Amino acid sequence: MPFSIPRRLVAALRRSDVLPSAGPAAAEGRPLRGRAAAELAAAVPGLAEERAERARTAGLLVGWVAVVAVPLWAVVDLVTESSNAGTFLAVRLLCEIPMLAALVALGRLPLGRRRPELLTFSVLAVVQAEVAWMVTRSEDPRYHLLGLTLAIYGSGCVMVARPRWTVALVAVSWAALGLASATADDGLAPGDLLAVTVYLATASVIAVLAHLRRYALDTRELHTRVRLEREQQRTGVLLAQLERLSHEDPLTGLANRRRWDAELAERCTRTRQRGDVLSVVLVDLDHFKDVNDRYGHGGGDDALRAVAGLLSARVRGGDLVARLGGDELAVLMPGADAERAAAVAEELRSGARLLRPPGFGPAQLSLSLGVATATGADAYPLELMFRADEALYRAKTTRNAVGAGTVPPGTPEPQPAG
């Protein structure tokens, strides 16, 4: 019963380490710790690097405080340990060598970015081994005992790493103290041994619990950030879909009237600025009402999709194909002169005669097309569309024809046999 309270306390502190919406482990209700939490951090671009940098910065802070404080503590030795001051100073300066080496690696070498926790732990472990040796050989261990607990507190409250590193430092501290006691000539007096045990045990419990709590809060923050990142990605996808749908005709997959108007206005402006050329081809399915009456609206939809596929396949990559409404489609051709636009229109007209949507017979679809071209300062959307519409109107007087500029519509091509 007495041991159930600490267990419940630790469980409560670790409870927020569970990430309920991250992968199979969370789906089974298991906490995400260690590698699983690292994999979750890797799911957010730049987050793993940010966490490593935080750990390195905290390690540098703790390490430099230790490197500066250890030799300065010799002043206390001069006051309280005059007989041992020289020996203790030599030990302190000797321990500076591995501590400085670890700090250089932490600040300058790639290892410092890959394993900042290990290097920080190495600095603190040297401090604990050194102070544990002094505690067992000091005339008055109370002052050095304070130094033995400071490193543990520093690990639990400042070190940015998993709690196992503070647990490892506590274990090293106890092991170093036990080894130092075993190798000391006189050892600690019973009263001093009791004080050392109580001080170190208290520091160990507080530091581990503090680190557990900090890690739980950090994991909760990680969960929140990952969830926020996923929501932002999901929102971005939805916005992209909405943007696409707002500019796309749902039946044919072509651009809709809204996108056509925007692109036409932009291309006309660019054409005027650059003195370039721009052509428009308006396309109309001949006798579309008869197609709907004969094949139903499903058949009419199939015919529209077939013609849309023809237009998309025959134009250049930089051209825009749109459905303006009903059976009227259009092609925007930047950089195409009147001859090129008329040639494309003729290819589309003849290609339509070969289309056979499901249920249709041969040569049952035909197109009427109107072509208009603008150059330089004459490129204005309303005027260009008006001239293309006039050309389309002339083509529709005979149907299965191309109207280009002021040229009368061409003679309809005979229907292919079979």
346: CATH: 3.30.70.270
- Residue 359's H or E segment, with its range, is none
**Are residue 179 and residue 303 in the same domain, yes or no?**
no
Residues 324 and 261 in one domain: yes
Tens-digit pLDDT profile for residues 276-297: 999 999 999 998 888 888 889 8
Among 140-149, 220-229, 366-375, the range of highest mean pLDDT: 366-375
Tell me: pLDDT of 13 over 70: no
298 and 214 in a common domain? no
Which of 148-152, 225-229, 321-325, 363-367 shows the lowest per-residue confidence on average (mean pLDDT)?
Answer: 225-229
Residues 270 and 228 in one domain: no
**Percent of residues, the chain, with pLDDT higher than 90:** 43
Q: Let me know if 281 is exposed, middle or buried by CB neighbors in 10 A (0-12, 13-18, 19+).
A: buried
| Shared-domain flag, residues 396 and 360 | yes
- CB distance 141 to 188 below 8 Å: yes
Residue 244 located in a structural domain? no
Nearest CA to 332 out of 286, 274, 400, 277 is that of: 277
DSSP state of 336: -
Say whether both 15 and 111 belong to one domain: yes
Full domain range(s) for residue 335: 257-404
CA–CA distance, 151 with 120 (Å, rounded to integer): 11
Q: How does strand 367-375 pair with strand 277-285?
A: antiparallel
Closest CA to 59 of 163, 161, 167, 153: 161
Answer yes or no: do 137 and 223 share one domain.
yes
Residue 264 is which amino acid? L
User: Are 306 and 218 part of one and the same domain?
Assistant: no
In a domain, 201, yes or no: yes
Mean pLDDT over 79-86 rounds to 86
- Identify residue 3 by its one-letter amino acid code: F
Q: Let me know if residue 243 belongs to a domain.
A: no
Enter the pTM of the model.
Answer: 0.53
What is the pLDDT confidence band of residue 37, given thresholds at 50, 70 and 90? Answer: low
14 compared with 318, residue with greater pLDDT: 318
So what's the pLDDT on residue 9?
Answer: 44
Residue that wins the pLDDT comparison between 358 and 370: 370
Q: CA separation (Å) from 72 to 69, 89, 93, 147, 343?
A: 5, 9, 10, 12, 90
User: Does residue 262 or residue 409 have the better pLDDT?
Assistant: 262
* More confidently predicted of 47 and 375: 375
**Cα 58 to Cα 54, 65, 120, 160, 328, distances in angstroms:** 6, 11, 9, 6, 67
In a domain, 296, yes or no: yes
Query: 150-193: per-residue pLDDT in tens?
Result: 889 888 888 878 899 999 999 999 999 999 888 888 777 888 88
Q: Please indicate, yes or no, whether residues 57 and 171 belong to a single structural domain of this protein.
A: yes
> What average pLDDT is seen over the chain?
83
For the segment 299-332, what is each residue's pLDDT rounded down to a tens digit?
899 999 999 999 999 888 889 999 998 899 999 9
Quick one: tokens of 329?
């489609």
Rounded Cα–Cα distance for residues 77 and 197 (Å): 22
Is residue 245 in a domain? no
Neighbours of 13 (CB within 10 A): 20
Average the pLDDT over 210-220 and give the result.
87
- For the chain, the domain total comes to 2
Grade residue 23 by pLDDT with cuts at 50, 70 and 90: very low
